[in-house]
Amino acid sequence: MRKTVAICAVLLILAAPGFSGVVKKTKSDITFRGFGKFSLAQSDKLTAEQRWSNMLSDFKGQGLAGGLAAKTILRSGDTGEIIDLPAATLYRLDNKKKEYTVSPIEKLKEMAGTGEEIKEEEEAEGKVKVTKNEFKVEDTGEESTINNFPVRKYLVLWLLEWEDVETGEKGASRLETLVWTTPLNDTLEKARDEEMKFAVAYLEKLGIEAGKMEEDVLGVRWMAILDSFGQMKGRPSRDYSKAASEMEKIKGYPVVIDGKYFISGEKPAGAAAEPEEEPSATDVKGRLGGLLKKTLKKKPVATESANEPVLAYRTEVLGISTPALGAADFQVPAGYKKKG
């Protein structure tokens, strides 16, 4: 009887109607100043409600922070991921061991640490006043061909300046992103629409108020990692809504996104520098925020280290199509065992 039920279940999955979907291959290189470089070759299948990803990744960490990051959020290996938005569930696959884990999709702040740590960060943000917020997109008019796509280059600039109203400490950040886009056709327009639907719903579940274009062009995913590592402590939250209208100037489908994020800061005259804290052994036992809180809790220096960015990211689209996808495309592969 059980065997019959199982067979029927499989047949129902295979016979389920296909949904408009997207299949895409990309490669990315991300450098986090001070703790490592992450390279990723990724294949995605997605609809508006689900995404399956296969990822070949390599992280070269630096120092203790890099070592901790390699064991948590930036692991090397052959892995997979299935995101089910209606069920708010995340499946992580280990393709080498043929194992998988299941967990709920959590907001990034909840993933980053304890409620007490989150409260401290929110209180610190409340003491920061934004003194300048400039965002602009420029069509350079430059054209080329990348990965067999005819492309046009856009320049995105975001300058943010702030001041701590209690201490007088000032800081600034600058994001410079080059975006190469290809003209939309039926395939790319369909792909864009499905990706936007999925991204908006997923980012909402993560507690991030940003759209698909902002997620990619402004490096939201990588910025969120900096946030969860404590790199952005004492700085104002980024308001992505201010970028939405300006981003409409970017026409076409992004093929290459090449971004660099810089941070600088200065203390008021006569202020003494804070001693850097060394990570304790107990950090290793905590969650992600606890793991890296002390290691990465450094104040921005007065210069930008000879213009070296805190974060640099580059993503290229290698291929894209829009086949019909069904429920069977988002199942844990046969033979994989559940872990934990």
Question: pLDDT band for position 110 (50/70/90)?
Answer: low
- Delimit the domains of the chain by residue range: 29-338
pLDDT, residue 234, reads 62
Q: pTM score, two decimals? A: 0.78
pLDDT at residue 334 above 90? yes
- pLDDT tens, residue by residue, 164-192: 888 888 999 999 999 999 999 999 999 99
- Rounded to whole angstroms, the Cα distance separating 77 from 71 reads 11
pLDDT, residue 222, reads 85
- pLDDT tens, residue by residue, 58-67: 999 887 767 7
| Helix (H) / strand (E) containing 338 | strand 337-338
Side by side, the strands of the sheet bearing 337-338 are 128-146, 149-164, 170-182, 253-266, 311-321, 22-32, 36-46, 50-61, 77-84, 89-94, 99-104, 337-338
pLDDT, residue 291, reads 46
- Grouping H, G, I as helix, E, B as strand and the rest as coil, residue 209 is coil
pLDDT at residue 120 above 70? no
pLDDT at residue 8 above 50? no
pLDDT at residue 231 above 70? no
- pLDDT tens, residue by residue, 274-325: 444 444 334 433 444 454 444 444 444 334 454 789 999 999 999 999 999 9
What mean pLDDT comes out for the span 132-141?
A: 95
- Which of these ranges, 2-16, 109-123, 168-182, 263-277, has the smallest mean pLDDT? 2-16
What mean pLDDT comes out for the span 113-142?
A: 73
